[in-house]
Amino acid sequence: MPHPSPPTPHILVTGGCGYIGSHVVRALQERGDSVVVVDNLCTGHPWAVPEKVLVKGDLADRSFLSQLFSSHSIKAVLHFASFIQVGESVHAPLKYYDNNVAGTISLLDAMSEAGVKKFLFSSTAAVYGTQATVPIVEEAPLRPGNPYGRSKLMVEEILRDCGQAWGLETVALRYFNAAGAHPSGEIGEAHDPETHLIPLVLQTAAGRRDAVIINGEDYDTPDGTCVRDYIHVCDLADAHLLALDSMKGGSGNRAYNLGNGAGYSVRDVIDACQRVTGKSIPVKTGPRRAGDPSVLVASSERITMELAWRPRFTSLDKIVEDAWRWERKLAGK
Ligand code: UDP
């Protein structure tokens, strides 16, 4: 009798039904990795991943996690599940610490119990806050200006402690502004409520909103609006695959920035959206949004040098084109 072959080890993706997670799931599946997605669907969408890979469940449910790890052979965890709205985090900090920090502790505890020691963490440029030196390098002082950023920084610190204590190998990817959509037009950004700039501007272009409200035009930037570094979600997905492959045992606890190194103001983004859509987009000036740093632009030199990451879609217009294709599809969903 031939022995049955051992089960294929899976990559566990938490929050895989969300915007960035779903693009990473697709990239993993395209190269033949076996994926299990855990999502509580409180903000994620079941349509964002193939039905057969999705397990509905909550990271706060520790017995659910034990059951999950004992019923699947998991070789690495990619952790996306979290709340992500800067403004909301200022007004509801405990919601952020509970979900983003306590939820992650529960997940790490289950991993420790199951002996899973590779962890890729979805972190953020918000760990830096306002910096005197731009572009921002990973060694820059970490001083997040809002509870969202602090919740992510706390997790990064917890990961280092787990690395020391039980050999957990981790990569934290500090995303600047994820944008765009899969060029197939099949998946993209769909937050409810939507708070991110590019989808809001495009929804206004499509006539689904009356005007874009600019959150403050009195910043110390060339046109007074906040400057951000927009990075195509598929370039982010590529970086996850490289980071995952770089964890071979003993590579410690690393952090990498992910951005294009180019800063665009809110006004620049609105101009790009007008160019791409060919529509005139009404704009109004509003107050500053709590917790917003004036400028966030990445140096991604470390991941370029160490993991040979090369972004494929660096032009803002290309990012907006893909987002626009998706926005029109989403309107019909
Ligand atoms: N923003 C804006 N109007 C909006 C939404 C966003 O002016 O309706 C600004 C926001 O204050 C920030 C920038 O656009 O300066 C990017 O915001 P987003 O929420 O997309 O990403 P974040 O920088 O918070 O990660």
Span 171-184, pLDDT tens digits: 999 999 999 999 99
Catalytic residue among 19, 96, 148, 264: 148
Whether residue 333 is predicted with pLDDT greater than 90 in this model: the reply is: no
pLDDT tens-digit readout, 233-289: 999 999 999 999 999 998 999 999 999 999 999 999 999 999 999 999 999 999 999
Helix (H) or strand (E) holding 307, with range, is helix 301-307
The amino acid at 269: V
Grouping H, G, I as helix, E, B as strand and the rest as coil, residue 262 is coil
Atom of ligand 1 nearest to the CA of 198: 20
Fold observed for domain 10-179+231-258: Rossmann fold (3.40.50)
Predicted local confidence at residue 8, as pLDDT: 79
Cβ–ligand 1 contact at 10 (below 6 Å): no
Predicted local confidence at residue 215, as pLDDT: 98
Whether residue 129 contacts residue 153, with contact meaning beta carbons closer than 8 Å, is answered with no
Looking at the DSSP bridge assignments, the partners of residue 173 are 122, 256
Close Cβ partners of 193 (under 8 Å, ≥ 6 residues apart): none
Tokens for 246?
């770089």
Reported residue count of the chain is 333
Predicted local confidence at residue 309, as pLDDT: 98
Residue whose Cα lies nearest atom 10 of ligand 1: it is: 215
What is the domain partition of the chain in residue ranges?
A: 10-179+231-258, 197-228+261-331
Q: Taking Cα atoms as reference points, which of 252, 86, 107 lies closest to residue 175?
A: 86
Q: Distance between CA atoms of 210 and 281, rounded to whole angstroms?
A: 9
Cβ–ligand 1 contact at 200 (below 6 Å): yes
Cβ–ligand 1 contact at 294 (below 6 Å): no
Select the CATH number that applies to the domain covering 197-228+261-331 from these four: 3.40.630.10, 3.30.365.10, 3.90.1150.10, 3.90.25.10.
Answer: 3.90.25.10
Whether residue 15 contacts residue 122, with contact meaning beta carbons closer than 8 Å, is answered with yes
Whether residue 5 is predicted with pLDDT greater than 80 in this model: the reply is: no
Cβ–ligand 1 contact at 110 (below 6 Å): no
Strands annotated E in the chain: 10-14, 35-39, 54-56, 74-79, 118-124, 169-175, 177-179, 212-215, 227-228, 230-232, 253-258, 264-265, 283-286, 295-296
The amino acid at 329: K
Residue whose Cα lies nearest atom 22 of ligand 1: it is: 177
Close Cβ partners of 183 (under 8 Å, ≥ 6 residues apart): 234, 322, 325
Atom of ligand 1 nearest to the CA of 125: 25
Whether residue 89 contacts residue 291, with contact meaning beta carbons closer than 8 Å, is answered with yes
Cβ–ligand 1 contact at 269 (below 6 Å): no
Q: Distance between CA atoms of 32 and 299, rounded to whole angstroms?
A: 31
Residue whose Cα lies nearest atom 1 of ligand 1: it is: 197
Atom of ligand 1 nearest to the CA of 177: 25
Question: Ligand 1 centre from 214 Cα, in Å?
Answer: 8
The position carrying tokens 């005007």 is: 211
**148 an active-site residue?**
yes
Q: Distance between CA atoms of 48 and 61, rounded to whole angstroms?
A: 23
Q: Taking Cα atoms as reference points, which of 176, 185, 175, 177 lies closest to residue 321?
A: 185
Residue whose Cα lies nearest atom 4 of ligand 1: it is: 197
Residue whose Cα lies nearest atom 14 of ligand 1: it is: 197
